[in-house]
Each structure stands twice: as C-alpha cells, then as structure tokens.
C-alpha cells in the first residue's frame, strides 16, 4: 500500500506502476534501439503486442513480485528480439525461417486472385487499401504487396522500378 485510503491507494498505485513500467520500456528502447518496435517483421509485431500486455500487467500488480516479473519479462523480450535480429542479419536460413515473404496481390492494374485467395485477402479489403493510397484508376496501380507485417503497400504512378519488387513472391505455394 502506498496510502491508507483504499481508493486513493488503488489510483496512486495504478498510475505510479504504469508510469514506471513505461519508463522501463523507454529505457529498454534507448538501449536496444527504435528498431525494436518497428513492425518490420511478424516477430517485431508480436514483440510490440507482448510489451503492451506486460505494461498492463505491471500496472495492475498487487505486490512487488507481480510488478518486477513483467519488467524482467520485458527485458527478456528485448533480448530475444535483439538476438533474433542479429541471427536474421547473419544467416539467410534464419531469416527465411523467421520472416514471411511479401506477396504480390496486384500488378499493373490486375488482381492476382490466386495470391489473394491463398493469403485470404478479399477484393474489398484490397480496394479499401487502394482508396487509402488515393488510387483513382486501377490502371495506375503498378503493384500492391502484402508485406511481411500484414500491411498492404500500394505503388502507383507511371513507372515502377523492378528492384522494388525484389524478394516479393508472385505465386503463393
């Protein structure tokens, strides 16, 4: 207990613990780097979600052990993310195992329906992404790619440098 009144203690404890947990995350990011929360890979995305859950758990702790354990777990996540990034960087095999391949959903104004079916992206979902990217005509779309994070990138304009599609799967197994 921080103060004798249970209501004030509840409020004060929640606020203080949440602030300390957030400061702990910020310190960890300063050490490991902003790349930790970049969502460049599915591993990074899971890391972000897990950190949020651990901050919530820490802010609701009823005792010191229940507070310290999520902080230690956050450190473990940062270490795992750092090690995975180093491993991906040094090994193509590790990168292939840990990272999904981006998939071409649309090319030169034509839907890649096979890729859309296999990745479970509906035409209405893709049209929403095209609208979001201010596409006015399907013929303007050079490519739409389902990225490794689950985001859809829409490239439109008069020309597409083929290098931008390097490593993008045109067919899905």
Read off the pLDDT of residues 90-100 as tens digits, 9 standing for 90 and up: 998 888 787 78
Q: What is the pLDDT of residue 57?
A: 94
d(CA 98, CA 60) in angstroms, rounded, equals 33
Write down the mean pLDDT value for the chain.
90
* C-beta atoms surrounding 14 within 10 Å: 13
Q: Which two tokens stand for residue 25?
A: 């995350």
Please give the residue range of the domain that contains residue 54. Answer: 6-97
Q: 171 pLDDT exceeds 80?
A: no
pLDDT tens-digit series, residues 117-126: 999 999 999 9
Q: 84 pLDDT exceeds 90?
A: no
On whether residue 172 sits in a domain, the answer given is: no
On whether residue 1 sits in a domain, the answer given is: no
On whether residue 170 sits in a domain, the answer given is: no
d(CA 120, CA 125) in angstroms, rounded, equals 10
Q: 115 pLDDT exceeds 80?
A: yes
Number of domains in the chain: 2
Are 14 and 83 contained in the same domain?
yes
Domain boundary among 44, 62, 97: 97
Are 17 and 85 contained in the same domain?
yes
On whether residue 160 sits in a domain, the answer given is: yes
pLDDT tens-digit series, residues 31-73: 888 777 776 777 778 888 899 999 999 999 988 899 999 999 9
């Amino acid at each position: 207990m921080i103060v004798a009144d249970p209501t004030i203690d509840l409020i004060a404890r929640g606020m203080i613990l949440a602030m300390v947990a957030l400061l702990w995350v910020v310190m960890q990011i300063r050490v490991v780097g902003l790349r930790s929360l970049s969502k460049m890979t599915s591993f990074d995305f899971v890391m972000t979600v897990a950190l949020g859950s651990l901050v919530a758990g820490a802010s609701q702790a009823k005792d010191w052990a229940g507070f310290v354990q999520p902080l230690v777990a956050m450190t473990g996540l940062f270490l795992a993310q750092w090690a995975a990034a180093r491993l991906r960087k040094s090994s193509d095999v590790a990168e292939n195992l840990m990272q999904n391949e981006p998939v071409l959903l649309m090319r030169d104004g034509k839907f890649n329906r096979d890729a859309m079916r296999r990745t479970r992206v509906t035409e209405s979902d893709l049209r929403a992404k095209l609208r979001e990217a201010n596409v006015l005509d399907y013929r303007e779309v050079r490519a739409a790619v389902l990225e490794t994070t689950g985001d859809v990138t829409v490239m439109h304009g008069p020309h597409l440098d083929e290098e931008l599609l390097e490593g993008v799967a045109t067919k899905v197994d």
